[in-house]
């Protein structure tokens, strides 16, 4: 039943799948960030713009895929962590990781828009944004955070949605990357390598059967019927055919160094290297993936 539901959702949304942002000229093969920036999340904005968050600094770097040039947009915020992020509605929606909060910034000026402390959170990991809400995963607490977005783009209420059903939390990091398929959420469970479909209203979940576990799964990116799943410490990206549940191939590249999240630009996909527990002094911080 779940496979049929997903196929129906994909068929209905294939033409609505997010297109890569328009921009002039091809993107850079690699892009450098400041040394020890410690990136984790990457998001695409308008034209050729990208945004990357810094875990320890609570900062955001913004630049151009086309030129590779950029600068810090959101200055460091001591005490804040920036993990997954998305750009939408003129804002940056940022998951706060260990700082147990959600942060929202102006995507043009970098100014603070809002902060939502979450005392009951474990690790706020990643985010996906729709027309009416931003949904955030928590890797340690079985709940999704829903931040409402009004028609005028202003922020609404923050709600907690308990995850129930087949998605069972176990020791370690659980819910991580998050995407949408039709009206449902798709979430990867890092420690088991399973994928789940989650009702964004009730939190009821069902497992999406795949033929190969995507263990150490991190950021997700859907393009049409394909779901790209970052497997961070394995330095590869699994390409899952959602209609069949088959892992069609793995994308690998010698420049990948603990990649965490993905973002599209035109026909390309970019990955950001987090380099957990390793020196962060390479120029290959953002890498265009081979096709």
Quick: pLDDT tens for 76-133. 999 999 999 999 999 999 999 999 999 999 999 999 999 999 999 999 999 999 999 9
* Alpha-carbon span 175 to 196, nearest angstrom: 9
Q: Which of 114, 84, 87, 98 is nearest to 73 (CA)?
A: 87
Q: For residue 133, tell me if it sits in a domain.
A: yes
Which CATH number characterizes residue 50's domain?
A: 2.120.10.30
As beta bridge partners, residue 102 has 95, 116
* Alpha-carbon span 96 to 127, nearest angstrom: 10
* Alpha-carbon span 162 to 174, nearest angstrom: 14
**Domain count of the fold of the chain:** 1
For the ranges 14-18, 191-195, 260-264, 265-269, which has the lowest average pLDDT? 14-18
Q: For residue 31, tell me if it sits in a domain.
A: no
Q: Taking residues 196-224, what's their average pLDDT?
A: 98
Q: For residue 244, tell me if it sits in a domain.
A: yes
What is the structure's pLDDT at 32?
A: 97
* Alpha-carbon span 220 to 222, nearest angstrom: 7
pLDDT band at residue 25 using 50, 70 and 90 as cut-offs: low
* Alpha-carbon span 279 to 108, nearest angstrom: 31
Q: For residue 257, tell me if it sits in a domain.
A: yes
The two beta strands, 133-138 and 194-198, are unpaired
Q: 97: domain range? A: 2-23+38-288
Quick: pLDDT tens for 236-273. 999 999 999 999 999 999 999 999 999 999 999 999 99
Q: For residue 33, tell me if it sits in a domain.
A: no
For the ranges 21-25, 55-59, 172-176, 257-261, which has the lowest average pLDDT? 21-25
Q: Taking residues 216-239, what's their average pLDDT?
A: 97
Q: Is the pLDDT of residue 66 over 70?
A: yes
Q: For residue 32, tell me if it sits in a domain.
A: no
Q: Taking residues 221-236, what's their average pLDDT?
A: 97
* Alpha-carbon span 259 to 250, nearest angstrom: 14
Using a 10 angstrom Cβ sphere, with 0-12 exposed, 13-18 middle and 19 or more buried, the burial of residue 282 is middle
């Amino acid at each position: 039943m779940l496979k049929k539901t997903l196929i129906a959702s994909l068929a209905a949304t294939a033409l609505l799948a997010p297109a890569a942002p328009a921009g002039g000229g091809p993107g850079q093969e690699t892009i450098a960030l400041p040394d020890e920036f410690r990136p984790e999340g990457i998001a695409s904005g308008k034209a050729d713009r990208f945004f990357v968050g810094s875990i320890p600094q609570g900062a955001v770097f913004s630049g151009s895929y086309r030129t590779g040039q950029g600068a810090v947009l959101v200055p460091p915020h001591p005490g804040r962590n920036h993990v997954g992020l998305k750009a939408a509605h003129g804002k940056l929606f940022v998951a706060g990781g260990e700082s147990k909060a959600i942060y929202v910034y102006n995507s043009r000026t970098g100014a603070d828009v809002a902060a939502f402390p979450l005392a009951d959170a474990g690790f706020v990991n990643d985010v996906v944004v729709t027309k009416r809400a931003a949904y955030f995963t928590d890797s340690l607490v079985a709940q999704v955070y829903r931040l409402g977005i009004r028609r005028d783009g202003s922020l609404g209420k923050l709600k907690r949605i308990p995850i129930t059903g087949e998605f069972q939390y176990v020791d370690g990091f659980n819910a991580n990357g998050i995407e949408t398929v039709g009206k449902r959420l798709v979430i990867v469970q890092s420690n088991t390598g399973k994928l789940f479909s989650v009702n964004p209203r009730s939190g009821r979940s069902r497992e999406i059967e795949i033929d190969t576990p995507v263990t150490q799964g991190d950021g997700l990116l859907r393009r049409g019927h394909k779901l790209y799943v970052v497997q961070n410490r394995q330095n590869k990206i699994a390409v899952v055919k959602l209609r069949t549940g088959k892992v069609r191939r793995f994308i690998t590249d010698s420049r990948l160094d603990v990649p965490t999240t993905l973002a599209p630009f035109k026909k390309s996909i970019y990955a950001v290297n987090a380099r957990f527990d390793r020196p962060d002094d390479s120029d290959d911080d953002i890498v265009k993936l081979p096709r």
